[in-house]
Amino acid sequence: MKIIAIHACQPPCASPPDWRTALGQILVAVETDTGLVGYGVGGGGAAAIHIIATVLRDLLLGQEVEPVEEHWQAMYRATLPFGRKGVAIMALSGVDLALWDLRGKAAQRSIAELLDGPLHRRLPTYATVWGDIPDALIGQHTAFKIHLGAGHLDALVEVVRRARDRVGPQAALMVDAWMKWDVPFTLRFAERVAPCRLDWIEEPLPPDDLAGYAELARRAPIPIAGGEHEFTAAAFAELIQRRLHQVLQPDVCWCGGLTELVKIYRIAREHGMRICPHRGGEIWALPALAALDPEPLAESGRPWLTWVGGQPPIVAGFIDVPTAPGFGVVIAEAVWRRTR
């Protein structure tokens, strides 16, 4: 099964009016001489599309689909002078996912089955919200995460206290600081909200502040989560080996695709650390959660990615793992045409 064409586009959608639109999610389609088409989603917007069109496509045209992992290495080496992290790896991620989709379709097996699973066929979910938890979500999930970002300490603490009162004592509750805090502020916040029993504080510091995360790992009374904005298994290996986070959150559409997410799970398992993928309830990460995760918890997906069909719904706080060949993704013809 040979690759005869690779296309990429950024389908229009109602994404947030920030970098998530300008450098938002892209659709990658890989065509083969058998008629099978593999789909993947990466990030990086027009810049990533340019990388695919000018660098990655020529590497793969005319090649057999297998072995996918060797294609990953070739793409990584080709982007090494300007890549390693960021947009180049986001572009690579979309291509890698499309190749995995083809791997599953060719074998007539779901990706969870290719990963020797699933261990779980239905996964618990948590809802990510901004500010106060909407009434419509209360009772629909057993866990919630609140985006806080920058703000006055007293005000942020009050948001957490209101959330705990609203969801009750049994629901898991987390917060996401979105890289807006420093070490002293994080420690003060953690001490103030300790009675609210948070499961984690997510990305309180910029990703490169490894010294700061080392201090938080030693001193914070609440577990620290991170890794949403980290790239490749090699970078996650340092986070894991130094135990800079208690919960690791790779995004399969950004970190290097499923090839790298599988490696990250393996390294984390060797060190007894937990993975909770960013937006893990999306169709691209669900197979890894189902097959590789002993304690899966799937984050609600990006609601603006309406052009990704086949996404199973969240019902009463749970999501079913797709069983169709490949990822089970469905791309409408009108969207698919945009890549050509």
> Which one of 120, 141, 229, 278 is the catalytic residue?
278
Indicate the residue type of 274. R
DSSP, collapsed to helix, strand or coil, labels residue 212 as helix
Cα–Cα distance measured from residue 28 to residue 186, given in angstroms and rounded to the nearest whole number: 39
Contact 328/285 with Cβ under 8 angstroms? no
132: tokens are 């106060």
Of 13, 86, 75, nearest to 47 by C-alpha is 86
Contact 119/290 with Cβ under 8 angstroms? yes
Active site residue 7: no
Cα–Cα distance measured from residue 322 to residue 152, given in angstroms and rounded to the nearest whole number: 43
Cα–Cα distance measured from residue 131 to residue 147, given in angstroms and rounded to the nearest whole number: 6
DSSP, collapsed to helix, strand or coil, labels residue 3 as strand
Of 263, 258, 265, nearest to 282 by C-alpha is 258
Write out the catalytic residue numbers: 278
